[in-house]
């Protein structure tokens, strides 16, 4: 886990104890915030969700609306599934405080694809995707991401960010 700078960790405190979008510092998560201003000038999607069992459903709806609004040439069922898997992982496997939130970002890629980032306050989990046969909790979700996403990964530059990209 990357050590956070003092400034960042103060913002992180605010984020991780808040589920209210209005309280989220607009400029704080550098690296993630930067990606909001794409070449096209379109603002990306950025919402915070309470870290509970409803988060995957809310995240799917938000990303679905984002994708439809921009008429992205993406298989919407695949996008909804991957969003659901990554957010479910953040709800179930994060070691962040239960009361903390999840930050969901989506941005349009230059080729018309989409990049989704799911950020929580935890130190992350073993990101090795397991085949479904392995049957371990959490394994199925990352297996699907690994199979379907054009690229994906886990960053620890700010909490734990699991991201994936889906090409159009």
Partner 1 sequence: VEIRERADGETHVLWIEGELDLSTIPELSRHIGAEFGAGSGQALTIDLSDVTFMDSSGLRLLIELDKRAQTEGWRLALRAPRHEGAKVVLRMTGADEALPFEEDSRP
x/- map, 3-42, partner 1, by CB under 8 A: ----------------------------------------
Residues from 75 through 114 that contact partner 1 (CB under 8 A) = 75, 77-78, 80-81, 84-85, 88, 91-92
Strand order in the sheet with 160-166: 45-50, 101-108, 114-120, 160-166, 151-155
CB 118 within 8 A of CB 161: yes
Give the residue, chosen from 9, 40, 54, 134, that forms a contact with partner 1 under the rule CB under 8 A.
Answer: 54
Output the smallest distance, CB 146 to partner 1, in A. 11
Task: Say if residues 100 and 51 touch (Cβ distance below 8 Å).
Answer: yes
Size of interface with partner 1, in residues (CB under 8 A): 24
Nearer to partner 1, 7 or 132 (CB): 132
* Residue 142 near residue 50 (C-beta atoms within 8 A): no
Alpha-carbon distance of 164 to 83, in angstroms, equals: 9
| Residues 21 and 45: beta-carbon distance below 8 Å | no
Q: Tell me which residues touch partner 1 (CB under 8 A).
A: 53-57, 60, 75, 77-78, 80-81, 84-85, 88, 91-92, 132, 135, 140-141, 143-144, 147-148
């Amino acid at each position: 886990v990357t050590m956070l700078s003092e400034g960042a960790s103060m913002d992180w405190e605010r984020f991780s104890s808040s589920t209210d979008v209005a309280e989220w510092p607009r400029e704080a998560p550098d690296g993630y915030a930067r990606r909001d201003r794409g070449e096209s000038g379109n603002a990306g999607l950025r919402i915070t969700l309470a870290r509970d069992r409803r988060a995957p459903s809310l995240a799917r709806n938000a990303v679905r609306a984002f994708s439809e609004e921009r008429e992205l040439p993406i298989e919407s069922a695949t996008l909804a599934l991957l969003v659901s898997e990554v957010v479910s992982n953040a709800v179930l496997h994060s070691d962040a405080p239960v009361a903390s939130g999840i930050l969901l970002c989506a941005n349009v890629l230059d080729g018309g694809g989409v990049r989704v980032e799911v950020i929580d306050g935890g130190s992350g989990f073993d990101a090795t995707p397991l085949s479904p046969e392995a049957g371990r909790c959490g394994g199925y979700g990352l297996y699907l991401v690994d199979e379907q996403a054009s690229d994906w990964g886990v960053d620890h530059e700010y909490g734990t960010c699991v991201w994936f990209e889906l090409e159009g």
